[in-house]
Chain A
Amino acid sequence: MSPTDLALQEAVAKHSDQRVANDFSLQVATVNGSGSQTANLVLLRSIFQMGVPVSGKNMFPSNIAGLPTWFTIRANKHGYAGRKKEVDFLVAMNPETAREDVMTLDPGAACVYDEPLKLSTLRNDVTFYPVPFDKLVTAVSPDAKLRRLVRNMIYDGVLAKLLDIDMAQMEKALNKQLGKKAKAVAINMAALKAGWDFAEKNLSIQHPFRIEPMNATRGKILIEGNTGAAVGCLMAGVTVVAWYPITPSSSLCETLITYMRKYRMDKETGKATFAIVQAEDEIASLGIVLGAGWAGARAMTATAGPGISLMAEFTGLGYYAEVPAVIFDVQRVGPSTGLPTRTAQGDILSIAFLSHGDTKHLMLFPSSPEESYAMAMEAFDLAERFQTPIFVMMDLDLGMNTWMAEPFQYPDKPIDRGKVLDEATLKRIGDWGRYKDVDGDGIPYRTIPGDGMPAYFARGSGHNTRAVYSERADDYINNVDRLARKFETARTFVPKPVVEMNPKASIGLIGFGTSHWAISESRDQLRDETKIETSYLRLRAYPFTGELAEFCERHDHVYVVEQNRDAQMAALMRLELKPEHIAKLRSVLHYNGLPIDARSVTDDVLAQEGLNMAIQRRHAPDEPRGSAGVGGE
């Protein structure tokens, strides 16, 4: 577009007349390693404390210091927590990306920038606010090292003024973020104040975006999905944890370690009621988990795609020897190292059938921190009930980003340890064999080393119902057929999908995991902007349950929304659905490494419905293709 476009200039002016309260996204572009995290979280938290629904997404490089990083805060009065495609307010601190960051803004956006970057000449349809950060921070601290740490806090002060964020809330958030470090609080406070004062004296507000106090966050928490899962493991009574550091799963185990050390030391002895091992690799991590699960512990590991690949062989052993194990896969972009710090839902197919031979595995798909918590607990119960590895399919967006959530409910039921043979059961069933299907549900009774019950030799090689080595064809068939039966039984135990059936809708949307947030918002867009009603089914587990076929039955077009290139979940559905249902499936795919956004879903659905008006919307240059790939039939 031409910078001299008069109509656009008018658009800016017109825009600024209206107040846009609690409905915008703000992006801070910095260099990683520059200590912007504190400033960003203080900003996020202060908006949250003002009662405004908020979410924070960190788009960071696979690097420790020196590469560009973006933190996006979305404040939204409706509670939309998915990524917003458009950036309404930019804080440009990174000289390397500043120009491109500015050029990708939509008309009407606003930009605070580091004065020497001289960005204001780039666009005249964007409101610019130059701030001399170096000059301001020099006045705050004579110490160069400290200056570097608090420089970013200045933009918090500027934004407080420009967006009407209460300085008292900023101070409260700062105290929360920095804890008891009084000296650090004082100097950061001075930086905040310096920013605010500068903005008050020098900047005249030309943009419409404001934060207005609401009452929509009372009682809620701010949390990352990995933390939710960690709390779930803690409450599930996990006893053995083995892990190997890998982004984006590391913080799950690291947070768990912190909580376990605090809440799981035996009161009387001061000793640990758990063992946590940082193993030599992901293979060993799962080996430890399987050894522990076999010997009666509740054991888990957390990893990402590359770790999943390494765990493939052991997963097959766990499936066939029937050993409980809980594996969190915090998915990231592949293949191979892929984009290690970007989000995806790309491990669906590889996990469904992980390992060789005939295997299939249980998967849970949490969408929120609350579900990460609840499903972590559920995963341990299911792993022991079905004596098999189970995968909790998270992703980077859920695991590492900051979400508003309801406080977690204390579990109201005891844990389920599944079919463990005891004297009474042995008496009842008489003749015990480790892999005998006594109850007809495919789930045998297990004994645990050291429990005094009959011993058996577990192995990945062929075995009969008594766990004796066998290469007989009938023994093999009996065994794998029983495993398939067990998987069928699991259909009645795994969490059912959440279905919102709209009787007026001929279009159904299916999603899972973090796509939920974009889908929910997209449904509102479709209804409000184009009068299209939709139904929605949110999958929560594999194997699928009967609700899926029924949902397909009730709609003409069924869009499966997922964050991968190859429509992996839809492919999994095709294996089970009837041809007439398969014919209704279409795909909305988002796989550029950024969290999926509502607009991409809406545009894609409209395009596939033949309603192309939305496609004229400009795609942001960071999403050239693939953000809304058209899949399906």
Chain B
Amino acid sequence: MTAPPPGKKLNRIGLDLQPYRGSKTTLCAGCGHNAISERIIDAFFEMGVDPRRVVKLSGIGCSSKSPAYFLGGSHGLNAVHGRMPSVGTGAMLANQNLIAIGVSGDGDTGAIGIGQFVHLMRRNLPIIYVIEDNGCYGLTKGQFSPTADVGSKLKNGVVNDLPPIDTCALAVELGATFVARSFSGDKKQLLALLKAALAHRGTVMLDVLSPCVTFNDHEGSTKSYSYVKDHDEPITDVSFVPSFEDIDVDYEPGTTQEVTLHDGSKIYLKKLEGSYDPTDKISALRALHETSRRGEFATGLIYVEPDRDDFITLLNLVDEPLSTLPLEKTRPPKAALDEIMEGLR
């Protein structure tokens, strides 16, 4: 490798930031989604992920436009509304060596896409599924979405009276093996979670509260920037140590839980919430329910199960990507056809 030009920061695979950046955002100035795109760029760059191995997927909505604004060096597919999970499933089955990141919104996931969301979580497909969650439909000018909280008010004064779907609780219940919530305004937490997500093998469900500065940032909204900031309740403090860094983390025994992820990376979870154990489903669900009862948003790593078989393993696929298998491996020999024909005589 030639020496980098002075001043250009390179990551561990020798790339500068360029292929991790995307085209210029067309979202509103100050949109939380842009902050999330920046964290995605940082996480993939810092983890040294080869952009050529990444596929970006999305549904429809403001959130789903964002994959154009990061990882320009990666292939992307903007699917139809609410159906990104199936497209992601197909792409990963075609080539298990890909790293899939899907970006959805709260309407794309919780309303039109709830069916596909549910079944994606069940499969434990290796994918990072990010919900950019602002409690409203931005691209159609601010209608409520299914994650809007009871009592939250639209700009025009309409109050939401249906209970919200807690996508994290659903994901834990349904079988996702890495479930987290964060806030677009919490750079440190979001970055740590995204890097940990890249070290995990299985479905990562990351719900990021991401205020809509245009349609849902007013007094009376429970998804406004200030409301979320005031009610953000980290239940774990996440430190991530990638497998390629040799760092010892000192912690007081009993205060911190250490979890080794699929690729050997470690996360250190400093417990902030009583007896909560993020490797225990029931404990995770209880923590979610208790914080929401208090009117707070539980953030941090909520649930992790690092060792469960993913969908690729479950399907017993050959190690080589299906997409590049040679014809000798995908077309049975003449003897096979003859045998089938013989059985039909």
* Given A271-B318, A415-B327, A455-B51, A242-B90 contact (CB < 8 Å): yes
Report, as a range, how many residues of chain B touch the other chain.
35 or more
- Quick check: A263 and B55 within 8 Å, CB to CB? no
Q: Which residues of A contact B98 (CB under 8 A)?
A: 295, 449-450
Interface residues in A286-317 by Cβ distance below 8 A to B read: 286-299, 313-314, 317
Question: Could you say which of A87-95, A277-285, A475-483, A605-613 contacts chain B?
Answer: A277-285
Cα–Cα distance between A288 and B123 once the two chains are bound (Å): 13
**A residues less than 8 Å from B55 (CB atoms):** 295, 449-450
Contact at A237–B341, with CB atoms within 8 Å? no
CB contact list, A385-434 vs B, under 8 A: 407-408, 410-411, 414-415
B323:A295 contact, CB within 8 angstroms: yes
Q: Is the CB of A266 within 8 A of B75?
A: no
Residues from chain A with Cβ under 8 Å of B83 in the complex: 283-284, 287, 313-314
Contact A457 B68 (CB under 8 A): yes
Q: Which of B309-340 contact A (CB under 8 A)?
A: 315-319, 321-325, 327, 329-332, 334, 336-338, 340
Interface string of B41-73 (1 = CB under 8 A from A): 000000000011101110000000001100011
Contact of B76 with A234 in the complex, beta carbons under 8 Å? no
Question: Which residues on the A side are within 8 Å of B344 (C-beta)?
Answer: 221-223, 227, 407
**A275-B78 in contact (CB<8A):** no
Q: Contact at A287–B340, with CB atoms within 8 Å?
A: no
In the complex, the answer to whether A239 meets B94 with C-beta atoms within 8 Å is yes
Q: Is residue A73 contacting chain B, with contact meaning CB distance below 8 A?
A: no
Which residues of the partner chain B approach A251 to less than 8 Å between Cβ atoms? none
- Once the chains are docked, how many angstroms separate the CA of A290 from the CA of B77? 10
Does B79 lie at the interface of the complex (its beta carbon under 8 Å from any beta carbon of A)?
A: yes
A450-B90 in contact (CB<8A) = no
Q: Report A122 CB to chain B, min CB distance, Å.
A: 40
Q: Which of B78, B86, B115, B329 has the largest count of A CB atoms less than 10 A from its CB? A: B86
Q: Which of A21-29, A111-119, A458-466, A506-514 contacts B (4 or more CB under 8 A)?
A: A458-466
Fill in one digit per residue for A426-470: 1 if any B CB lies within 8 Å of its CB, else 0. Answer: 000000000000000000000111111001111111000000110
Q: Which residues of B contact A227 (CB under 8 A)?
A: 344
Partner of A288, one of B56, B86, B317, B318: B86
Residues of A within 8 A of B92 (CB): 291, 295
Instruction: Check if B93 sits within 8 Å of A275, measured CB to CB.
Output: yes
Q: Are A287 and B116 in contact (CB under 8 A)?
A: yes
Asked if A486 is at the interface (CB within 8 A of a chain B CB), the reply is no
- Whether A287 and B329, one on each chain, are in contact in the complex, defined by CB atoms closer than 8 angstroms, is no
- What CA separation (Å) do A237 and B330 show in the bound complex? 4
**A179 to B132, alpha carbons, bound, how many Å?**
57
Q: Which residues of B contact A458 (CB under 8 A)?
A: 75-78
Residues from chain B with a CB closer than 8 A to the CB of A321 are 77
**A221-B341, A295-B323, A447-B75 given as contacts; is B315 within 8 A of A457 (CB)?**
no
**Residues A115-168 near B (CB distance < 8 A):** none
Does residue A272 face the partner (Cβ distance < 8 Å to B)? yes
| Nearest A-chain residue to B116, judged by Cβ | A284
How many angstroms from the CA of A454 to the CA of B67 in the assembled complex? 17
Q: Cβ of B115 and Cβ of A281 under 8 Å apart?
A: yes
Judge if B11 is at the interface, Cβ distance under 8 Å: no
Q: Which residues of B contact A286 (CB under 8 A)?
A: 86
Q: Write the nearest CB–CB distance from A22 to chain B, whole angstroms.
A: 20
Cβ-closest chain A residue relative to B88: A291
Whether, in the assembled complex, A264 has its beta carbon less than 8 Å from a beta carbon of chain B, the answer is yes
**Do residues A235 and B115 form an inter-chain contact, with CB atoms below 8 A?**
no
User: A362-395, CB under 8 A of B: which get 1 and which 0?
Assistant: 0000000000000000000000000000000000
- Known: A271-B317, A287-B116, A290-B90. Is A240-B77 also a contact (CB below 8 A)? no
Contact A269 B318 (CB under 8 A): yes
Q: Which residues of B61-118 have CB atoms within 8 Å of chain A's CB atoms?
A: 67-68, 72-80, 83, 85-95, 97-98, 115-116, 118
B155, CB-defined interface residue at 8 Å: no
Asked if B345 is an interface residue, CB under 8 A from chain A, the answer is: yes
B340–chain A nearest beta-carbon distance, Å: 6
CB neighbours (8 Å) of A271 from chain B are 316-319
Say yes or no for A359: interface residue by CB 8 A criterion.
no
Contact of A221 among B53, B85, B90, B345 (CB under 8 A): B345
Annotate B170-194 by CB proximity to A: 1 below 8 A, 0 otherwise: 0000000000000000000000000
* Nearest B-chain residue to A262, judged by Cβ: B336
Residues from chain A with Cβ under 8 Å of B51 in the complex: 455
Contacts of A279 in B (CB 8 A): 86, 119
Determine the distance from Cα of A313 to Cα of B74 in the docked complex, in whole angstroms: 25
**Nearest CB in chain B: distance from A219 CB, A:** 8
Q: How far is the CB of A48 from chain B (nearest CB, A)?
A: 9
Q: Are A240 and B52 in contact (CB under 8 A)?
A: no
Asked if B23 lies at the interface with its beta carbon under 8 angstroms from chain A, I say yes
| A273 close to B (CB within 8 Å) | yes
* B322-A273 in contact (CB<8A): yes
CB of A292 within 8 A of CB of B80, answer no
The residue in chain A whose Cβ has the minimal distance to the Cβ of B82 is A283
Do the beta carbons of A297 and B90 come within 8 Å of each other? Answer: yes
Q: Which residues of A have CB within 8 Å of B321? A: 296, 450
CB-defined contacts of A240 to chain B, threshold 8 Å: 90, 93-94, 322
CA distance A384 to B56 in the complex (A): 22
Closest to A316 in B: B80
Q: Which residues on A sit within 8 Å (CB–CB) of B324?
A: 296, 451
Q: Kindly provide the distance from the CB of A529 to the nearest chain B CB, expressed in whole angstroms.
A: 35
A60 contacts the other chain (CB 8 A): no
A→B interface (CB under 8 Å):
219-223, 227, 231, 234-240, 242, 259, 262-264, 266, 269, 271-277, 279-281, 283-299, 313-314, 317, 321, 407-408, 410-411, 414-415, 447-452, 455-461, 468-469
In the complex, the 6 A-B pairs of residues with the closest C-beta atoms, listed nearest first = A291-B90, A287-B86, A296-B323, A237-B330, A292-B90, A297-B94
Apart from A297-B94, A455-B52: 11 A-B pairs, beta carbons within 8 A: A234-B332, A237-B327, A239-B330, A266-B318, A288-B89, A291-B90, A292-B91, A293-B90, A455-B75, A458-B75, A469-B68
